[in-house]
Structure 1
Amino acid sequence: MGEPRVTFYTRAGCHLCEEAQAVVARVCAELGERFVEVDVDTDPELRERYGEEVPVTLVDGRQHDYWRVDEQRFRAALQG
């Protein structure tokens, strides 16, 4: 298996992150994809870049969504 196609930037105690993570986990499981979850507060550069937008979802290294994950758009990006 290669690297996960999805990176999910999050932070502890973020209710939007919890909601988005459920969508990411469900869609990835259904499509046989893996994702890596990264807490932006563990790295000053990540906190600076993504801190105001978490949760942030990247697909194949490109920013896909922030604040919320649109399930249909996310699924289409993984299938396309």
Structure 2
Amino acid sequence: MNAERRLTVLSREWCHLCHDLLDALKPLQGEFGFEVEVLDVDAFPELEAEWGEKVPVVLAGDLELCHYFLDEAAVRAHFQRIG
């Protein structure tokens, strides 16, 4: 699958907001057919330094679509824009 059809979620293993966001993404993933790559910021010092306590964060490439809570409208708009 190409990079356009992938979202990256910056997460933490112990973060309940992260787990909630990932669960909320599943219906959209089924609808739009994209992959989700989950990166634990605690395993990557450079990500932890950049994003700190802002997780969870949903990224489409370098573009931040939302953080803390899923912005379903932003995710929908992204996939509708790229087709």
**TM interval, short-chain normalised:** 0.7 to 0.9
Task: Check whether the contact 1:56–1:63 (CA below 8 A) recurs between aligned residues.
Answer: yes
Q: Distance in 2 between matches of 1:17 and 1:44?
A: 18
Per-residue CA distance 1:17-68 (angstroms, 9 max, x = gap): 0111112232122111112110000011111111210000011321111111
TM-score (norm 2): 0.84
Task: Check whether the contact 1:56–1:67 (CA below 8 A) recurs between aligned residues.
Answer: yes
Runs (4+) of structure 1 exceeding 2 A deviation are none
Partner of 1:43 in structure 2?
44
Q: Distance in 1 between matches of 2:67 and 2:21?
A: 9
Partner of 2:8 in structure 1?
7
TM-score (norm 1): 0.87
Decide which structure has greater helix share.
2
Matches within 5 A, 1:1-80: 1-3=1-3, 4-80=5-81
Q: Which residues of structure 2 form unaligned runs of 5+?
A: none
Q: CA deviation at 1:11?
A: 0.2
Q: Which residues of structure 1 form unaligned runs of 5+?
A: none
User: Does the residue aligned with 1:52 lie in a helix, a strand or coil?
Assistant: helix
Give the superposed CA RMSD: 1.4
